[in-house]
């Protein structure tokens, strides 16, 4: 049995970031790509700017993907072969965690001991891998859940499936093992403690940020020309994956109520839906289009595919109101990005949206999911657009990825120092000693 090494304290030199089920290179707004992808990309770039190298391990979903991609200076994406490249749903990935873990351990084994100073896992699948890497390398495990099964199951949308028991158990295990749990908001930290028995002393609140250079106020008329919207339109915007959890149907019903209450609005109203079917939404990908037809609003609704960041900023700037009616959000980066562009937000008063949106200052929070309440909230925003636009910019300015990165570095350092002070037990490997194969270095 190899001796366990003492963890390094202080600022890490190199971080192993784990993102099993979705790649930071994927386009947010489709498939499993969303706010977590943005988080990993932006946080990794800021860590690299502080001289910390980041290796991001993610599952390869195509045989055409190169094994290694430099995402940006100091940030490397490593595509891991674990199971079939295509056609493997997220719910099938637990069966591939052994293969994924083996690839991560083999990569570290190609280097001198102590190559990685910390493991940062994102989502529970990655936490399972990180738990083993932590024990193998004697380095701290930092875990960000992004979403929690027990919280999602408490607020299921109509037509959505509950999260399976296997995920609940997996999350409980990771929460128990992680050296630090990173929560997006105070409420998420309380949920980790209340629902999962997390240690409050190891549960830190680190809000995500927003790219204030990319998402910033601009010329609305120019933005509307760029996306093909009339200059005098009243634009309501939805951005996100098309699935029951995100509740885009609430916006469509609200738009129908606005037209019923004021038929003269039809010549100006435009509803833009930016995103693609995902999750349970893949079971009925045409459902929103059918709803639009049934509501008689096909002439005012335009569907856009997921947009790259610069183009997405134009959609935010072109909108009068961004609507985020989700049944649950761990934070709600869409709301923050919209506000950074000066666009007020109408959002559900759930989860992290209560932090991302300041009610009455940067937008309006709505209790429940009654479309009439959303129609009322939209009218409220439109009655004071300049005031809420200024409030939206101020509120978004409180969040930045640099602050997020600084807090993560502090969390890495404190976890390493705590581990260095605490005697680490030697945990026997259940599968016995490893044997070297020709040309293969045995993992330590």
376-425, pLDDT tens digit by residue?
999 999 999 999 999 999 999 999 999 999 999 999 999 999 999 887 65
The verdict on 269 and 237 lying in the same domain is yes
Q: Check whether residue 27 and residue 40 sit in a common domain.
A: yes
One domain, residues 389 and 414: no
Using 50 as the pLDDT threshold, list the residues of the chain that sit under it.
1-4, 428-444
Q: Is residue 319 a known part of a binding site?
A: yes
Classify residue 5 as left (phi > 0), alpha (psi -120 to 50) or beta.
Answer: beta
Looking at the fold, whether 26 and 98 belong to one and the same domain comes out as: yes
In the chain, what is the straight-line distance between the N-terminal and C-terminal CA atoms, in Å? 9
Helices assigned H by DSSP within 88-164: 97-109, 124-137, 149-154
Q: Which domain holds residue 243?
A: 220-397
441 is in an annotated binding site: no
Residue 410 and residue 374 share a domain: no
Residue 281 covered by a domain: yes
Domain contains 439: no
In-domain check, residue 433: no
Contact between 43 and 74 under an 8 Å Cβ cutoff? The reply is no
* 33 appears as a binding residue in the annotation: yes
- Under a CB-based contact definition with an 8 Å cutoff, are residues 131 and 18 in contact? no
Q: Say if 165 falls within a structural domain.
A: yes
Token code pair at residue 46 = 């800021």
Q: What is the pLDDT of residue 31?
A: 65
Tally of structural domains, the chain: 2
pLDDT score of 1 = 35
Return the CATH number at 28: 3.40.50.2000
Single pTM value for the model? 0.88
Q: Are residues 393 and 407 in the same domain?
A: no
202 assigned binding-site residue: no
Residues 224 and 196 in one domain: no
Please check whether residues 146 and 85 belong to one and the same domain: yes
- pLDDT at position 85 is 83
Tell me the sheet residues that pair with 364: 346
Q: In sequence order, which residues have a C-beta less than 8 Å from that of residue 112 and are 6 or more positions away?
A: none
> Domain check: are 167 and 228 in the same one?
no
| C-alpha span between 383 and 123 (Å, rounded) | 40
Q: Determine the Cα–Cα distance for residues 134 and 118; give it in Å rounded to an integer.
A: 8
- Establish whether 21 is an annotated binding residue: yes
368 is in an annotated binding site: no
Q: What is the DSSP string of 168-237?
A: HHHHHHHHHH-SEEEESSHHHHHHHHHHH---GGGEEE------TTTS----HHHHHHHHT--TT-EEEE
Neighbours of 27 (CB within 10 A): 15
Residue 429 has a pLDDT of 43
CA distance 350 to 394: 22
Is 232 contained in some domain?
Answer: yes
Q: Is 147 annotated as ligand-binding?
A: yes
Q: How many helices (H) and strands (E) does the chain have?
A: 15, 14
Contact 321, 289 (CB under 8 A): no
Q: Do the annotations mark residue 248 as ligand-binding?
A: no
Is 162 contained in some domain?
Answer: yes
* Residues pairing with 203 in the sheet: 181
Residues 405 and 393 in one domain: no
**pLDDT at position 282:** 57
Q: 41 with 122, same domain?
A: yes
In terms of domains, do 268 and 386 share one?
A: yes
- Whether residue 84 is contained in a domain is answered as yes
1 annotated to bind ligand? no
**Position of tokens 């109408």?**
346
Tell me whether residue 314 is annotated as binding: no
- Determine whether the annotation assigns residue 32 to a binding site: yes
Burial 226-259 (b: 16+ CB within 10 A, else e): bbebeeebbbbbbbbbbbbbbbbbbbbbbbbbbb
In a domain, 312, yes or no: yes
User: Is residue 311 within 8 Å of residue 268, measured between CB atoms?
Assistant: no
CA atoms within 13 A on the CB side of 325: 29
Q: What is the pLDDT of residues 27-62, one digit of tens each?
A: 776 667 778 999 999 999 999 999 999 999 999 988
Rounded Cα–Cα distance for residues 173 and 335 (Å): 31
Is 123 known to sit in a ligand binding site? yes
């Amino acid at each position: 049995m190899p001796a366990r090494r003492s963890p390094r304290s202080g600022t890490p030199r190199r971080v192993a970031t784990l993102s099993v089920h979705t790649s930071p290179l994927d386009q947010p707004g489709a498939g499993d790509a969303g706010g977590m992808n943005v988080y990993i990309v932006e946080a990794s770039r800021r860590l690299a700017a502080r001289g910390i190298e980041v290796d991001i391990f993610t599952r390869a979903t195509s045989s055409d993907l190169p094994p290694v991609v430099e995402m940006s200076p100091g940030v490397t994406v490593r595509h891991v072969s674990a199971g079939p490249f295509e056609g493997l749903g997220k719910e099938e990935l637990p069966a591939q965690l052994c293969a994924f873990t083996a690839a991560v351990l083999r990569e570290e084994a190609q280097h001198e001991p102590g190559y990685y100073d910390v493991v940062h896992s994102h989502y529970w699948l990655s936490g399972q891998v990180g738990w083993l890497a932590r024990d193998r390398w004697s380095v701290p495990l930092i875990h960000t859940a992004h979403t929690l099964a027990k919280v999602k199951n408490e607020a299921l949308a109509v037509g959505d499936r509950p999260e399976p028991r296997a995920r609940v158990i997996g999350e409980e295990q990771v929460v128990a093992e992680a050296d630090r749990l990173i929560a997006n908001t105070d409420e998420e930290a309380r949920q980790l403690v209340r629902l999962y028995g997390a240690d409050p002393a190891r549960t830190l609140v680190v809000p995500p940020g927003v790219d204030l250079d990319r998402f910033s106020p601009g010329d609305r008329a120019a933005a509307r020309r760029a996306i093909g919207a009339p200059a005098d339109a009243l634009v309501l915007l939805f951005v996100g994956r098309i699935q029951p959890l995100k509740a885009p149907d609430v916006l469509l019903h609200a738009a129908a109520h606005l037209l019923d209450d004021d038929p003269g609005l039809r010549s100006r109203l435009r509803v833009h839906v930016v995103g693609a079917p995902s999750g349970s939404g893949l079971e009925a990908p045409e459902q929103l289009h059918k709803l639009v037809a049934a509501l008689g609003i096909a002439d005012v609704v335009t569907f856009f595919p997921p947009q790259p960041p610069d183009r997405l900023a134009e959609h935010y700037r072109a909108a009068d109101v961004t609507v985020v009616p989700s049944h649950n959000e761990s934070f709600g980066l869409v709301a923050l990005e919209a506000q950074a562009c000066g666009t007020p937000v109408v959002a559900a008063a759930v989860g992290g949206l209560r932090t991302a949106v300041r009610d009455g200052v940067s937008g309006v929070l709505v209790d429940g999911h009654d479309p009439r309440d959303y129609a009322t909230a939209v009218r409220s925003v439109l009655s004071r657009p300049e005031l809420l636009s200024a409030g939206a910019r101020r509120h978004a300015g409180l969040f930045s990825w640099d602050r997020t990165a600084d807090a993560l570095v502090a969390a890495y350092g404190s976890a390493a120092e705590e581990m260095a002070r605490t005697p680490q037990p030697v945990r026997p490997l259940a599968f016995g000693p490893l044997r070297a194969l020709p040309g293969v270095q045995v993992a330590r």
